[in-house]
Amino acid sequence: MPPPPRAESLPRDRFIAKFRSLRTQTYSETTARASASSIRTIAWNPLGTLIATGATDRSIRIWNPEKPQVKNSTELKGHIGSVERVAWHPRRDAELASVGADGTLKIWDVRSKAAVGEVKLGGDGLTLAWMPEGEEMLVGTKQDVLKRVDRRTMNVLAEHPQNIQTNQACFSNSGKEVFLTTGEGQIKIMDYPGFEPLLSLSAHTSAALSVSISPMGTWVAVGGSDALLTLWDTWEWCCQHALSNMIGPVRSVSFSFDGTYIVGGSDEGTGLEIAHTETGEYIYKIETAYPAPYVQWHPNRYVLAHSGDASGLKIVGAMDK
């Protein structure tokens, strides 16, 4: 799979002008079932040609961002509990992994709409992260057990029970470290695959919920239940900025494809505020009439997907050229 073409990286003034001109498109099933469901997770595939959502109604839906009508989407059926996390294989643009409250990890081929692998987790699935090359997945359960899963064999290679509430995980860009957010407000950095502790940072005054690393690996963003999004440089591991414009718990954080801009999603309040990573300055607000807890930047363009009200997935800029 060749690397996708990347858009031009824009300075703040040009970025603001561009975003003001972008339209927001809604992607909705427009059914009674859709109005009763709630998006729990969003993920773009590596090329940015497809976007997956997982919801409380046990469904996974694959959307073509250029065709918002539901007839052009694909539904994946198989989970019997809420879908808590979806994540695309980092090297295969049609392979998706998902974990659910039904205690299963599933691998899907979205072309055939079929599950091509499954692992019983022994607990409610909560978090999911691929190693950068896609050879392994790290899956976490609500029982605070982290499991290494081999993609080729679909076997659990090792289990690592945690002695503290563990909310989300992501890998460093090298795959040699893993970042974990905890119920005590910490971000724990462990070596991988040995899980020896390397560093623990007191990131938040209450539970740390979400975590993401910038594309160049120079920043780590952490969202907390204290309504803060903290930005840490990976050279000295200092908190350089604490972004405080959100009202409620920060359920998701996402860097733009160039790492220049950062956004967090909260399940309280309205609007999404985009900040400049280097300065920590808020520079643009996307107005919404509802909370938007789950956000995800496109992998190579200034296009932003977010959850919203019962009308469904929203994407800012998908229909703009």
Distance CA 177, CA 193 (A): 8
Burial 128-141 (b: 16+ CB within 10 A, else e): bbbbeebebbbbbb
Q: First and final CA of the chain: distance in angstroms?
A: 23
Q: Put residue 270 in one of left, alpha, beta given phi > 0 → left and psi -120 to 50 → alpha.
A: beta
| pLDDT exceeds cutoff 50 at 95 | yes
Tokens representing 237 are 């591991």
pLDDT of 12 > 80? The answer is yes
Q: Is residue 4 part of a domain?
A: no
The mean per-residue pLDDT over the stretch 153-174 comes to 97
Residue 35 has pLDDT above 50, yes or no: no
Token pair belonging to 88: 């695309």
Q: Is residue 5 part of a domain?
A: no
Mean pLDDT of 192-221: 96
- Give the C-alpha separation, 300 to 162, whole Å: 35
Decide if 321 is inside a domain: no
Q: Does the structure show a pLDDT above 80 at 257?
A: yes
Q: Is 36 exposed, middle or buried (0-12, 13-18, 19+ CB in 10 A)?
A: exposed
Q: d(Cα 282, Cα 201) in Å, to the nearest integer?
A: 24
Report d(CA 161, CA 224) in Å as an integer: 22
Confidence of residue 4 (pLDDT cuts 50, 70, 90): low
> Does a structural domain hold residue 7?
no
Q: Which of 236-270 are b and which e, b meaning 16 or more Cβ less than 10 Å from the residue's Cβ?
A: eeebebebeebeebbbbbbbbbbbbbbbbbbbebe
* Mean pLDDT calculated for residue range 41-53: 97
- Do 82 and 90 contact (CB within 8 A), yes or no? no
* pLDDT over 90 (residue 1): no
- The pTM assigned to this predicted structure is 0.95
DSSP assignment of 78-147: --SS-EEEEEE-SS-TTEEEEEETTSEEEEEETTTTEEEEEEE-SS-EEEEEE-TTSSEEEEEETTSEEE
The domain of 288 spans 12-316
Number of domains in the chain: 1
The band of 66, judged by pLDDT with boundaries at 50, 70 and 90, is very high
Percent of the chain with pLDDT over 90: 91
Q: Is the dihedral angle over the CA atoms 233, 237, 238, 243 positive or is it negative?
A: positive
Mean pLDDT (whole number) for 232-258: 96
pLDDT at 43 over 90: yes
pLDDT, position 36: 41
Q: Which pLDDT score, from 0 to 100, does residue 34 have?
A: 46
Q: Which residues contact 236 (CB under 8 A, 6 or more apart)?
A: none
Which DSSP string corresponds to 245-309? Answer: ---S-EEEEEE-TTSSEEEEEESSSS-EEEEETTTTEEEEEE--SS-B--EEE-SSSS-EEE--S
* CB 319, CB 63: distance < 8 Å: no
Report phi then psi at 18, rounded to 5: -65, -45
- Give the residue, 31 or 316, on which the prediction is more confident: 316
Cβ–Cβ under 8 Å, residues 147 and 120: no
User: What integer best gives the mean pLDDT of the chain?
Assistant: 93
Helix (H) or strand (E) holding 36: helix 32-36
- Rounded Cα–Cα distance for residues 174 and 198 (Å): 15
Strand partners, 239: 232
The verdict on residue 6 lying in a domain is no
pLDDT value for 308 = 80
Asked if residue 69 is part of any domain, the answer here is yes
Residue 30 confidence (pLDDT) above 80: no
By C-alpha distance, which of 296, 279, 313 is closest to 12? 279
Integer CA distances (angstroms), 164 to 144, 146, 154, 167, 207, in order: 7, 12, 27, 10, 11
Inside any domain, residue 143: yes
Residue 54 maps to a domain: yes
CATH at 99: 2.130.10.10
CB atoms within 10 A of CB 279: 11
